[in-house]
Amino acid sequence: MQIVIIGSGNVAYHLAKAFVLNKIPVAQIFGRNETELQKISSELNIPFSNEKPEDADLYLICVSDSSVENVSELITKTDCLVAHTSGSLPKEIMVGAYRKSSFYPLQTFSKSKDLEYSKIPFFIETENEEDQKTLTELALKISENVMESTYEKRKYIHLTAVFACNFVNHLFSRAKEISDAQEIPFDYFLPLIDETVQKIHEIDPKSAQTGPAVRNDKRVLELHENLLKDESLDIYKTLNLSIKKMYQLP
Amino acid sequence: MQIVIIGSGNVAYHLAKAFVLNKIPVAQIFGRNETELQKISSELNIPFSNEKPEDADLYLICVSDSSVENVSELITKTDCLVAHTSGSLPKEIMVGAYRKSSFYPLQTFSKSKDLEYSKIPFFIETENEEDQKTLTELALKISENVMESTYEKRKYIHLTAVFACNFVNHLFSRAKEISDAQEIPFDYFLPLIDETVQKIHEIDPKSAQTGPAVRNDKRVLELHENLLKDESLDIYKTLNLSIKKMYQLP
């Protein structure tokens, strides 16, 4: 099977790398950004082009959600399978007479951070069973967690991921902003952060909740509000209110 | 040195356990809740009382912030050192003629979750150098990370911890609420959550940010808002706005 990866961002890079590491040949990596393509191409030893996508059986569109539709128009071939990797787009967003599918890896990708690909859940949606089998087998070469998923479900998977990953990371950024301003090394907090996450491997997060809000400790909540301002204060109030509601505190 | 631990909650239990595991004798665990005291006492083989604190050189008050002041009144002895374990109280909150101090372990404690005590940062504040030495040496028997800290600094350490731990855990709860409602197993998200945290051991969280908000993907943001309601919607809007401000998005 001839595979072309389209894109040169975090997802394109990591999927290409996962394929190469698992000895799945990638015929080409295609995109706009020549500098990034060149880097990926030389690291992974995959041909690249920023002019014309190679003829292929499977195109994997790994570009930002807002570009998927436009990029999908570049594939003029009809007898092929095209998958996008977005968590929040229906496969029908793609424009073309080819068979459409979704190949969604549930993970946060940064080029500078290595990943253990075998643990990444892949969610697959296709138009027919044969394509489902093709993409499932492909994903199973990378990961042990491969599942079918409709667009309806995928939307919620992506939304959950935003809370559990993107927002969590932003809280780390705001936390670091607070500690940096006091010249407290952020490294102090890493054992606490590690434990916060290890905990939910064993305990339901609702039962694992600690801190002043769930204790309904109004003195501390007020003290903290006085130390905060702007967005961090808004976050503080919003999250405390949400904790209050979840635990039905007075 | 004769040590008495006061309290029967998460912090009391884990400090008692850390002491016992590191062969530091605990003379007594004292508190109100006989059931909990009995459990800790029989697990760790420490005498307990819910009537009268034993005579000691060091009392460690491990109760909720709002009870520290009241509990501190129970210590009538004057020639002794008393430490509370709160992140957000000055040592002067304690009422008594004894020497006052703070012994603050930066970690999230749940009785049902084992901990690696050697990684917990301890922050210590005392009235004089001798007490500082005593508490530092004690903490060093448990952990390799022991530091001095003023109340001013401790307040901010605790506040940072609320963002990096308590709020993060609450986001996991809200995330799980979303996935539960769609019958999506929360286990799917654990590799993503693990990676989110592993990342910040290597990359500054501000550089590690991914997701629709930092990409300023208005279509996805709107789509998600339509899937949410109540507190989760408030969290979604507040955190996206904060991301928008941090990255100066239009």
A3 in B contact zone (CB under 8 Å) = no
Contact A157 B188 (CB under 8 A): yes
Q: How far apart are CA B157 and CA B163, in angstroms?
A: 10
Phi-psi region for residue A96, left (φ > 0), alpha (ψ -120 to 50) or beta?
A: left
Contact A120 B191 (CB under 8 A): yes
Residues in B touching A174 (Cβ below 8 Å) = 163, 242, 246
In which domain, by residue range, is A126 found?
3-149
A208 in B contact zone (CB under 8 Å) = yes
Q: Residue A185: which CATH number?
A: 1.10.1040.20
Q: pLDDT tier at B131 (50, 70, 90 boundaries)?
A: very high
Q: Which of A64, A188, A213 sits opposite B215 (nearest CB)?
A: A64
Query: Of B118, B149, B180, at which residue does a domain stop?
Result: B149
Structure confidence by residue, pLDDT tens digits, B161-219: 999 999 999 999 999 999 999 999 999 999 999 999 999 999 999 999 999 999 999 99
Q: What is the pLDDT of residue B94?
A: 98
User: Does residue B105 share a domain with residue B217?
Assistant: no
Residues in A touching B167 (Cβ below 8 Å) = 171, 211, 235, 239
Q: What is the largest CA-CA distance in chain A?
A: 67
Asked whether A4 and A30 are in contact (CB, 8 A), the reply is yes
Q: What is the pLDDT of residue A120?
A: 96
DSSP chain B: --EEEE--SHHHHHHHHHHHHTT----EEE-S-HHHHHHHHHHHT--EESS-PPP-SEEEE-S-HHHHHHHHTT---SSSEEEE--SS--GGGS-SSSEEEEEEE-S---TTS---GGG--EEEE-SSHHHHHHHHHHHHHH-S-EEE--HHHHHHHHHHHIIIIIIHHHHHHHHHHHHHHTT--GGGGHHHHHHHHHHTTTS-HHHH--STTTTT-HHHHHHHHHH--HHHHHHHHHHHHHHHHHTT--
Structural tokens at position B29: 């665990």
Name which of B123, B144, B145 is nearest B135 in CA terms: B123
User: Does residue B132 share a domain with residue B40?
Assistant: yes
Domain count, chain B: 2
Contact A203 B112 (CB under 8 A): yes
User: Does residue A167 share a domain with residue A133?
Assistant: no
Mean pLDDT of chain A: 96
User: Does residue B159 share a domain with residue B122?
Assistant: no
> What is the least distance, in Å, from the CA of B107 to any CA of chain A?
5
Q: What is the pLDDT of residue B72?
A: 97
Mean pLDDT of chain B: 96
User: Does residue A145 share a domain with residue A39?
Assistant: yes
Q: Which residues, numbered 32 to 61 in chain B, qualify as contacts with chain A under a Cβ-Cβ cut-off of 8 Å?
A: none
B70 in A contact zone (CB under 8 Å) = no
User: Does residue B48 share a domain with residue B169?
Assistant: no
Structure confidence by residue, pLDDT tens digits, A54-99: 999 999 999 999 999 999 999 999 999 999 999 999 999 999 999 9
Q: What is the pLDDT of residue B186?
A: 97
Structure confidence by residue, pLDDT tens digits, A188-219: 999 999 999 999 999 999 999 999 999 999 99
User: Does residue B172 share a domain with residue B57?
Assistant: no
Contact B191 A106 (CB under 8 A): yes
Q: Residue A121: which CATH number?
A: 3.40.50.720
B90 in A contact zone (CB under 8 Å) = no
Residue % of chain A over a pLDDT of 90: 98
Q: Nearest chain A Cα to B243, which residue?
A: A170
Contact B176 A206 (CB under 8 A): yes
Compute CA distances B61 → A144, B86, B140, B193, whole Å: 48, 9, 19, 34
> What is the least distance, in Å, from the CA of B79 to any CA of chain A?
30
Burial of A60 from C-beta contacts in 10 A (0-12 / 13-18 / 19+): buried
Q: What is the pLDDT of residue B71?
A: 97
> What is the least distance, in Å, from the CA of A38 to any CA of chain B?
23
Query: Of A101, A129, A149, at which residue does a domain stop?
Result: A149
Report the alpha-carbon angle B88-B143-B136, nearest 5.
Answer: 65
What value does the CA radius of gyration of chain B take, rounded to a whole number of Å?
Answer: 22
Q: pLDDT tier at A102 (50, 70, 90 boundaries)?
A: very high
Query: Of B99, B132, B149, at which residue does a domain stop?
Result: B149
The torsion defined by the Cα of A30, A154, B195 and B146, in degrees rounded to 10, comes to: 150
Q: Nearest chain A Cα to B112, which residue?
A: A203
Q: Nearest chain B Cα to A194, which residue?
A: B197
User: Does residue A173 share a domain with residue A199?
Assistant: yes
Q: Nearest chain B Cα to A235, which residue?
A: B238
User: Does residue B141 share a domain with residue B21?
Assistant: yes
User: Is A29 strand, coil or helix?
Assistant: strand
User: Does residue B109 share a domain with residue B166?
Assistant: no
Average pLDDT of the residues in A18-33 = 97
Structural tokens at position A44: 């992974």
User: Does residue B92 share a domain with residue B162?
Assistant: no
Structure confidence by residue, pLDDT tens digits, A132-165: 999 999 999 999 999 999 999 999 999 999 999 9
Q: How many CB pairs under 8 A join A and B?
A: 331
Residues in A touching B170 (Cβ below 8 Å) = 205, 209, 213, 239, 242-243, 246
Q: What is the pLDDT of residue A12?
A: 98
User: Does residue B142 share a domain with residue B93?
Assistant: yes
A229 in B contact zone (CB under 8 Å) = no
